[in-house]
């Protein structure tokens, strides 16, 4: 989409209330303008497969991210789970959510030639640990992060490393700049999720 077309699209958004842009797959992404008292939640996921099915790969596209949130609504505490897919670069967003505390509870990802993995998490003390799940990822959160009240809430880049032994290692990054992780021949440059979407949609109301 050219710069002129983008400007026309955002003008249509201001007039009509929505913009529809092509995204990964056959679905359409509707960009919503900010609503009073709501936030934009952004993040990214990077998965490295270190040998499952003798495949060594980095995965960012079409990862299903399961997020659980907790917030105050009309004086009452509420929790809910959300499911969202990453784009080709590994980034995702949830629009017009309540500000509060949000946790990546797990992911679903296709690995190697034929493995569809469910990866969930549990807590040992205050430490969140990711591990394989059987067929589903629940919405149970034992330890919540500090609630945020920002226009844009950034969950950072969640790195998941699938080892040949079956163990799962994880790490969270703010950004990656020429970063080398588990794959020796691979480096990554990933902006912070907030900066990524701000650069992709510079005229969007969330970033003005």
Tokens of residue 18, six digits: 């929505």
Residue 120 forms beta bridges with which residues? 131
To the nearest 10°, the Cα dihedral for 76, 147, 79, 99?
A: 80
User: Which H or E run contains 40?
Assistant: strand 39-50
If DSSP codes are grouped into helix, strand and coil, which group holds residue 161? strand
The pLDDT assigned to 29 comes to 81
Beta bridge partners of 188: 179
Let me know the angle formed at the C-alpha of 138 by 25 and 26, rounded to the nearest 5 degrees: 5
Check residue 113 and give its pLDDT: 96
- pLDDT on residue 102: 98
- Provide the pLDDT for residue 23: 40
Residue 6's pLDDT is 43
Q: Of 41, 44, 85, 69, whose CA–CA distance to 141 is shortest?
A: 69
The C-alpha atoms of residue 62 and residue 192 are separated, in whole angstroms, by 19
pLDDT in tens, the chain (208 residues): 554 444 444 434 433 433 333 344 445 689 999 999 999 999 999 999 999 999 999 999 999 999 999 999 999 999 999 999 999 999 999 999 999 999 999 999 999 999 999 999 999 999 999 999 988 999 999 999 999 999 999 999 999 999 999 899 999 999 999 999 999 999 999 999 999 999 999 999 999 8
Q: What is the pTM of this model?
A: 0.86
- For residue 75, give both structure tokens: 């004086």
Is 142 within 8 Å of 29 (Cβ atoms)? no
Rounded CA-CA distance 41/52 in Å is 32
- What the block records as the tokens of 204 is 């969007």
Q: What pLDDT shows up at residue 193? A: 98
* Predicted pLDDT of residue 166: 87
Per-domain boundaries in the chain: 36-194
For residue 179, CA distances in Å to 52, 58, 63, 111, 146 come to 22, 13, 21, 22, 28
């Amino acid at each position: 989409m050219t710069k002129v077309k983008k400007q026309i699209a955002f003008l249509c958004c201001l007039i009509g209330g929505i913009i529809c842009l092509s995204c990964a797959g056959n679905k359409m992404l509707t960009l919503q303008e900010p609503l009073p008292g709501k936030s934009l939640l952004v993040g990214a996921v990077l998965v490295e497969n270190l040998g499952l099915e003798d495949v060594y790969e980095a995965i960012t596209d079409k990862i299903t991210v399961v997020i659980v949130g907790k917030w105050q609504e009309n004086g009452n505490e509420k929790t809910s789970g959300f499911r969202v897919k990453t784009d080709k670069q590994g980034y995702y967003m949830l629009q017009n959510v309540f500000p509060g505390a949000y946790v990546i509870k797990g992911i679903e990802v296709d690995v190697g030639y034929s493995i569809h993995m469910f990866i969930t998490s549990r807590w040992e003390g205050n430490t969140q640990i990711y591990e394989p799940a059987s067929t589903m990822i629940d919405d149970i959160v034992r330890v919540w992060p500090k609630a945020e009240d920002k226009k844009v809430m950034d969950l950072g880049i969640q790195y998941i490393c699938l080892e040949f032994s079956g163990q799962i290692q994880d790490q969270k990054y703010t950004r990656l700049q020429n970063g080398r992780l588990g794959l020796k021949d691979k480096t990554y440059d990933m902006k912070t999720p907030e900066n990524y979407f701000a650069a992709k949609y510079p005229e969007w109301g969330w970033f003005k």
